[in-house]
Amino acid sequence: MNITVLDGYTLNPGDLSWEGLAQMGNLTVYDRTLPGETLDRALEADIIFTNKVVLSREIISKLNRLKFIGVLATGYNVVDVEAAREHGIVVTNIPAYSTASVAQMVFAHILNFTQQVGLHARQVRDGEWSSHQDFCFWKTPQTELEGKTLGIIGFGRIGRQIARLGDAFGMKVIFHNRSVKPDVPQHFRQTTLGEVFSNSDFLSINCPLTPENQGFINEKMLSLMKPSAFLINTGRGPLINEPDLANALNSGRIAGAGLDVLSVEPPGKMNPLLSAKNCYITPHIAWATLEARVRLMKIATENLRAFISGKPINTV
């Protein structure tokens, strides 16, 4: 059985092992696969794993040996699932492997805004503290999280974990979700989208991307936010109208944005958020802690093992 990993580098840049997959077949791992290389590399595969390499209807129709596609992520939009189904190909994904890691990144961005540890550490290294006449100094306001309002859009596993962390900091938690969430602590209040935008001091975006909500964080919604509020997005980049957010930041309409995702990744050099005022962008790494990647690799291996045993799991 031929097992092909089309783009394994982001999951495993060298600090993990592919041994679990290798035990189940003849394994070939490519660090990266360009669109023009996909068909040739996949043609002899019985099993394919992909993270971001697209497996379109056209490509799937030509892969006569293919029996299984394992997506090395939670989102599976890179695979034409309907075409796979028509050809009898099982498609699996990796659910709930990075919940703690993504929630942690949300607070890394929040704490960056409240404390600016990196900025102050650089000032100390540059000698400013040594030459200062007072015992302390600060370049930005130091902000306490207790009593601030944390708004969350999308209250799935990650949203709930962010709420727990906010609660531990003494924050007031409000959230918006498409469906009613009855099984939440009473002090986590579900409310309207407009109220979450209007009342939040820190607003975390954690909802899935759909055709209906693409670009919904636009000038209209941003205008509802407090000028002192911060927007954090670890969900999906296309949820945000990026020129509108850049304008809101540059005009002081909102205080700042912490983003781990953008609409196009890697971003083009002309993306307006790259130079926007008080906009901190991390390169889509919220999911990528060592612990989360170990978990992802383990689940991917279990998915294939279950498929081989005739009892597939985590199918989409």
Q: What is the set of active-site residues?
A: 236, 265, 284
How deeply is 278 buried, as exposed, middle or buried, from its count of CB atoms within 10 A (0-12, 13-18, 19+)?
middle
Cα Rg of the chain (Å, integer): 22
Kindly tell me the sign of the dihedral angle through the C-alpha atoms of 261, 264, 265, 269.
negative
The phi and psi torsions of 238 (rounded to 5 degrees) equal: -65, -5
Strands 202-205 and 230-233, bridge-based pairing: parallel
Task: DSSP letter for 208, please.
Answer: P
Spatial distance between the Cα atoms of 129 and 309, rounded to a whole number of angstroms: 64
Distance of CA 18 to the CA centre of its chain: 24
Kindly tell me the sign of the dihedral angle through the C-alpha atoms of 44, 70, 52, 284.
negative
Q: Which one, of 171, 174, 128, 132, lies nearest residue 148 by Cα?
A: 171
